[in-house]
Structure 1
Amino acid sequence: MPLNFDLSPEQLRSYQGTNPRPADFDGYWEKALAELDATEPQVETRPAEFSAPFARCEDLEFTGVGGVRVHARLARPLADADGSAVLFFHGYNGRSTPWTELLPYVARGQTVAAMDLRGQGWGATGTDWTVSTQLLRGLDEGADQLHMRHAYLDTVRLARTVMDLPGVDPDRVAVTGGSQGGGLSLACAALEPRIALAAVIFPFLSDYQRAWEMALGEAPYQEITTWFRKRDPLHRRREEIFTRLGYIDIQHLAPRVRARVDWTVALEDVVCPPSTQFAAYNKLTGTKSLREYPDFGHEDLPGIEDTLYTVLHTL
């Protein structure tokens, strides 16, 4: 690992994380899921402007907690569907996966959906759009108002919506994404136990305190430093803040994951440092596999798209 900025390979494989886990973590998420259950989904679909001769392409919308309408692209085979489905989640402040990247999956018979995260993608309404600071939105309003809490619940609603579609086997649904999309995929698999497979690339949203203490000066974890500089320059609330962020820390959700997990890590990643990822990976208790890119950072990884295309057909 030429940059030598993180733990050694041996230390990574035993690292158990730094960010505190709130004492009522499990109860917090049971309450959150109950709120989602009490929210009428109001699912709607309409034909998309995009079309393909072998696919039914639609804009899907549903209602998430707080009454927010969330958008996703939905594409289904016109014939020869194999019953499986793949959910795509995008990177931080990005947007849903383009139709042309979804079509290869549809062509082999899979149903696919790609969600626009509330406040980030173009399709979510009823919430303020911002260029950054999504990670810390709601932090001062209390744990139940964390923006990422709501986003995690949106992934669950998308999964349940797709699982209910005709021709989809609810036990053959996969989730995938890189960076924020990887974190959302793991959160979805943790909160919807029927997810069968999670294929993730250098996931964000893990071990916040470790990322902050490393002081690498990189977005998106740099938002935490900015928050302290602006809101708590003497760090009087440090323990409180990191404990609150612990509710949305995927390392603490990892033990709930029942899906098979295919994980890709880049060992020179200063955006989502390897140790923050291993904090979650090491807590997975089910079937898992790890793919390492020793000389790469948070960037395009050679061959990864083809690899995931193969992995996501093993449902």
Structure 2
Amino acid sequence: MKLLSYFSLFLVLLTAKTNAQNTPAPIKLVQIMLTADYPDWNYKLNEEATIKVSVLKYGSPVENVEIEYQYGPEQLNPEKKGTLALANGVGEINIGTMNIPGFRQLRVQTKIDGYVYKNEINVGFAPFEIKPTVNLPKDFDAFWEKAKAENSKIPMDAVVNHKSELSTANVDVYLVRLQNYKLGQYFYGYLSKPKDDKKHPVLFNPPGAGVKKIVPVTTYAEKGFISFTTEIHGVSPEINDADFESTRAKLKDYWAIHLDDKNNYYYKKVYLDGVRAIDFLTSLPEFDQKNIVVTGGSQGGALTIVAAGIDKRVNYIASFYPALSDNTGYLNNRSAGWPFMFSDKYQNNTPEKIKTMEYYDVVNFARKISIPGFYSTGYNDNTCSPTSTLSAFNSVKASKEIVITPISAHWRFAETDDKSIQWLQEKCGIE
């Protein structure tokens, strides 16, 4: 038995050593640096953009390297493709200009020692003048007021179970099930509450896109909020793997379900889930009776804006690169955001589907916002394009501020995340 134990220990140590020897590198051996003329990557209309290209190995230029490049309007077919020889590893590419507000994109790649290295850059032309392409239906407000009134008749039927195994020294975690939209239809969320028996602002944290099992988020509770992190598909995080995979398969491209019927479109339930989440949070005895905030990114960023536009109880929001923004962009010869529903990939551009989307496009909820908001996006985001996210941001008439980190793609820096939480804390009077 002792010999077996020593042998097991040897295998553990050997595995640990092997893993340590094969830790993936956090950076590429060869890097392609793309530098715009301006540090904010913003240009005036009709001003030509010249991008400096540097191919670096160990931080030094690679001599006699050839690159392939293509450029044109963001996420559309490139206007020009070509190659460029860089004798000293450094060169420039003029990617042209725009006479209307928007973005141009340069993509570059090179092959060195059999490995392909890539990079890209999106630069803006008068980006804060970008206007949305989506129409606002005349009965938009009436449509959503009716939907909320009908939804309010559905009992919440809240089931709240404490999860000691998920709780921390400072935060209690609960799994919550709420009824919404139809009798017998539910969605789930993790509630996180500070363990201090005090009153707190409440924070709704809607999810990003996809069908995933949610996990508790205790960060906001650690920062002084009672937070509620939800899913949108009625999938309990405690579902067994087989049933989960079956459900996920059925909900592939869920954003397209009943897209031709505004009264039964998939996102109608989802948007009303947000209202129900706020119903639940404001019913809690620990709610401070003053501050209701919403924050999320991507689809969660979209649902954040929707919540502020549809529910006047919300006081403050922090939205990151919102999806579902200006979906008709592709019908107007420019990029749109996730899920690219009217792009050539999906062939969805029927009159019925376009009309339905007008009632669900995030831009139209942004137009309705009347509260202060914190927003953030990056220019290299190919999932929620800056053209689409700025269409939404520029449509907000209320007090707002935005943090743009041009280099970021469909993610955000910790510094920006920290700034958003600090902004929400200050607004809610959390010290």
TM-score by length of 2: 0.64
For residues 24-39 of structure 1, the aligned pairs below 5 Å read 24-39=139-154
- Report the AA paired with residue 290 of structure 1: I
- Report the AA paired with residue 104 of structure 1: T
1:56: which partner in 2? 172
Structure 2: distance between partners of 1:54 and 1:220: 38
Displacement of 1:299 in angstroms is 2.7
Kindly indicate whether residue 159 of structure 2 is the aligned counterpart of residue 44 of structure 1: yes
Displacement of 1:253 in angstroms is 1.2
Q: Which has the higher helix share?
A: 1
Kindly indicate whether residue 391 of structure 2 is the aligned counterpart of residue 279 of structure 1: yes
Alignment counterpart, residue 259 of structure 1, candidates 368, 371, 392: 371
- CA offsets, 1:155-210, max 9 Å, x none? 11001210111021343111111100000011111111111111011000111011
1:289: which partner in 2? 401
2:255: which partner in 1? 135
Structure 2: distance between partners of 1:166 and 1:121: 25
Displacement of 1:275 in angstroms is 1.7
Please state whether the residue corresponding to 2:137 is helix, strand or coil. Answer: coil
Structure 1: distance between partners of 2:299 and 2:279: 20
Identity %, equivalent residues: 20
1:20: which partner in 2? 135
Displacement of 1:23 in angstroms is 3.0
- CA offsets, 1:217-261, max 9 Å, x none? 996315754442xxx6xx5x2x33212111101111113223311
Structure 2: distance between partners of 1:254 and 1:214: 22
Alignment counterpart, residue 205 of structure 2, candidates 88, 93, 104: 88
Please state whether the residue corresponding to 1:17 is helix, strand or coil. Answer: coil
> Tell me, which stretches of 5 or more residues in structure 1 are unaligned?
none
- CA offsets, 1:61-103, max 9 Å, x none? 111102321101001112153421211112111547633xx32
Note if contact 1:96-1:115 (Cα within 8 Å) is conserved in structure 2.
no
The 1:154–1:197 alpha-carbon spacing in structure 2 relative to 1, beyond 3 Å, is same
Alignment counterpart, residue 161 of structure 1, candidates 250, 268, 280: 280
- Report the AA paired with residue 50 of structure 1: L
Structure 2: distance between partners of 1:33 and 1:268: 37
Please state whether the residue corresponding to 2:167 is helix, strand or coil. Answer: coil
The structure whose RCO (Cα within 8 Å, separation 6+) is larger is 1
Note if contact 1:171-1:195 (Cα within 8 Å) is conserved in structure 2.
no
Displacement of 1:303 in angstroms is 2.1
Note if contact 2:335-2:385 (Cα within 8 Å) is conserved in structure 1.
no
For residues 1-315 of structure 1, the aligned pairs below 5 Å read 1=41, 5-6=73-74, 7-8=102-103, 9=124, 11-48=126-163, 49-67=165-183, 68-79=185-196, 81-93=198-210, 95=212, 98-99=215-216, 102-118=217-233, 122=237, 129=248, 130=250, 132-140=252-260, 142-211=261-330, 220-221=339-340, 225-228=344-347, 237=350, 239-314=351-426, 315=428
Q: Which runs of 4+ in 1 moved over 3 A?
A: 1-6, 8-11, 94-98, 119-125, 127-132, 211-219, 222-227
* The structure with more radius of gyration: 2
Note if contact 2:201-2:291 (Cα within 8 Å) is conserved in structure 1.
yes
User: Which moved further from structure 2: 290-299 or 177-186?
Assistant: 290-299
Note if contact 2:187-2:236 (Cα within 8 Å) is conserved in structure 1.
no
